[in-house]
Structure 1
């Protein structure tokens, strides 16, 4: 191992241990309250991190694995999106809600910062939705295939994709012309990939997928990983955030495997989820907790008070428009739950605040308060949404006992 590549041996044990402990703790508490597993992953990360017990820190290897975990999280979020279900009402309403949130967030940011322009850019953090974070929560509660799940997915998709594009436009430091050229180039790459993915699969490919599905060949999984690598590399090469590439790779991979027989497709999805939710994604959430700058919050009481302020702003700026612009046929509790899911934010809050801090446009203490609000949103909002919906790990097979509104009519 190169001397320049730092490895903390204890981190290699404690992070997987935290990942194992998280679902155990969630399961033990289930009889009293349904707490998402990601909540325990983040809290355990804070606990073992430098600011509490100080048992370990994020070294080079752990940092790289965390980046892979974030990319895989965004990939799985993109993979789960079925545009055939989201087209029309859900996607239009989600887009309108996000645009309202964007205008309000930029205005709020400009008003609360000494430099209106930098404040407006920081306000982008209030427009994000952690689709990758709420995805496993929806899956575990059996909500993903329901009409309500489609609404949340549409809200989350726009809440991930919109801010990523806004970051590329507003925070990249490029001129408007260069930004337009870069986005145009990535759009061409994406369109080409989607067009190829939509083509019927040749028979030899289907045979090879089926033949290697349970062997060391794993052709389908290797192909998906290649798509992920190519799209992430393209985004980085074009000076865009890797999250855009990972998210797009998930969409392309879903289309690429559309013609695979259902039995094989289920096995492929299970393998991808195993790589993601079984390995890489928990690393990202545990490391996010480890990297949380708790000291910056506790050193200044005024900064600590900003956390609930930003939490309320997340709910007002992002969640309220999503709830108000929800379909008319949606019940009061479901509408509130949609707003809570929409206001759940973390990964892009970290990305945006990191860019702003590195550029010297945002104090690290304010960034910590924003990230702290994002952490609390992940801790609280999905839990409240599940309580409102009454979905405590209810299997999808028994969801027929609850009346549903037809998503296609929205």
Structure 2
């Protein structure tokens, strides 16, 4: 108990230290906060100082953080913005990435199951990580922001479908039937939510928005819990339920007063990015097996190879979603944004490691490549996007 108490205090301290470190370096280089959270977790975890040890309680909190990250992603996607060309082209690019990723996995992995894990990891895009970065940079509604949102939506939802199909413990046919059942059920719930007026829900939300009742927050937790538990009971990945819960809540609250929705969004951000999501990223650093990576020359060689494969397998097909008449710099930014992946990589390698399908070295190399992609690619992408030919307006790519 004493060790857990110390770990919890240190994790809370790291959650405070990460944004302070990001702000300290902001004038020199803009580094996403999640990078500091992961690096600090590695530093204080068993891989280096050993001040924080993995514990079941913190792992459970981290699972809640990962689920909340996908809830936020589902809640923040504006499907009206990405439908049509952005979504269609992003989907085509993802199918290419999945095929190329599994092909690369067959060359690198000893078994077909391990190849699928590598392929699913390499075709992911970290939408939940990219959305705050785009929002902070004021690019969430620009053409490139819309393209990246489409890439991220497909790059998170697609791998979740693949995980549920290939790693549910069922044959492909029954797994597909169960998945379709879940999709139809949640789709029906979303459709009904979009058609209903929700007068009682909205009035109760407004009445308790600034009281201890907090009906909106309690409703969010209820919807999230129900769909996560439902997905787990059906043998699907819990993140599929979390993503669907975010979409369902967005639809249910869409007709509420705008001021109420803004307050609720602030509360969601507070729960997610003020508490649960930092625990997930810090715990990712704590659980990162640096020894497994450095002890094997083969695993160490896979680390930069996986980073390069993210650019090739996920980044290059992302060009299909580039806005029309994009500049070469913006196309390079699209490649870098599309190749940014971590949460799905952590989830699928965790499944592979727990099932004994991949070694600790391969898992660490994949997660390490994902962490480095979050560190480097968004930063480089924003720099590419901000590069303009002399004499052109700074905001020429934004929607009027």
Who is 1:211 aligned against?
207
Please, what is the CA RMSD of the aligned residues? 1.8
Q: Distance in 1 between matches of 2:340 and 2:81?
A: 22
Q: 1:171 Cα deviation (Å)?
A: 2.3
Who is 1:396 aligned against?
none
Q: Distance in 2 between matches of 1:53 and 1:121?
A: 31
Check the 8 A contact 1:126/1:317 in 2, yes or no. yes
Who is 2:262 aligned against?
266
State the 4+ residue runs in structure 1 displaced beyond 4 angstroms. none
Who is 2:337 aligned against?
341
Check the 8 A contact 2:164/2:175 in 1, yes or no. yes
TM-score using structure 1 length = 0.92
Q: Distance in 2 between matches of 1:87 and 1:275?
A: 29
Gap change, CA 1:121 and 1:51, over 3 Å in 2: closer
Who is 1:395 aligned against?
none
Gaps of 5+ in 1: 392-399
Q: Distance in 2 between matches of 1:253 and 1:7?
A: 38
Gap change, CA 1:115 and 1:17, over 3 Å in 2: same
Gap change, CA 1:7 and 1:269, over 3 Å in 2: farther
> How many residue pairs were aligned?
395
Q: Distance in 2 between matches of 1:319 and 1:233?
A: 33
Q: Distance in 1 between matches of 2:250 and 2:84?
A: 20
Q: Distance in 1 between matches of 2:65 and 2:113?
A: 32
Q: Distance in 2 between matches of 1:154 and 1:384?
A: 20
Q: 1:298 Cα deviation (Å)?
A: 1.4
Q: Distance in 2 between matches of 1:326 and 1:8?
A: 47
Who is 2:241 aligned against?
245
Who is 2:390 aligned against?
none
Who is 2:32 aligned against?
36
Check the 8 A contact 1:79/1:254 in 2, yes or no. yes
Aligned pairs for 1:75-94 (under 5 A) are 75-94=71-90
Who is 1:319 aligned against?
315
Who is 1:403 aligned against?
396
Aligned pairs for 1:229-240 (under 5 A) are 229-240=225-236
Q: 1:188 Cα deviation (Å)?
A: 2.4
Check the 8 A contact 1:138/1:144 in 2, yes or no. yes
Q: 204-213 vs 258-267, which deviates more?
A: 204-213
Who is 1:194 aligned against?
190
Matched, 1:106 2:102: yes
Q: Distance in 2 between matches of 1:380 and 1:87?
A: 29
Write out per-residue CA displacement over residues 5-26 of structure 1, whole angstroms, 9 at most, x where no aligned residue. x961111111111111111111
Matched, 1:160 2:137: no
Check the 8 A contact 2:292/2:361 in 1, yes or no. yes
Who is 1:57 aligned against?
53
Gap change, CA 1:206 and 1:117, over 3 Å in 2: closer
Matched, 1:11 2:7: yes
Match of 1:298 among 281, 294, 298: 294
Gaps of 5+ in 2: 388-392
Q: Distance in 2 between matches of 1:45 and 1:358?
A: 21
Q: Distance in 2 between matches of 1:209 and 1:295?
A: 49
Q: 1:174 Cα deviation (Å)?
A: 0.8
Q: Distance in 1 between matches of 2:141 and 2:12?
A: 30
Check the 8 A contact 1:129/1:342 in 2, yes or no. yes
Who is 1:48 aligned against?
44
TM-score using structure 2 length = 0.95
Gap change, CA 1:7 and 1:80, over 3 Å in 2: farther
Q: 1:147 Cα deviation (Å)?
A: 2.4
Write out per-residue CA displacement over residues 353-386 of structure 1, whole angstroms, 9 at most, x where no aligned residue. 2222222221211111111111111111111112
SS in 2 for 1:18: helix
Match of 1:139 among 135, 141, 152: 135
SS in 2 for 1:362: coil
Q: Distance in 2 between matches of 1:167 and 1:364?
A: 19
Who is 1:127 aligned against?
123
SS in 1 for 2:256: coil
Check the 8 A contact 2:117/2:349 in 1, yes or no. no
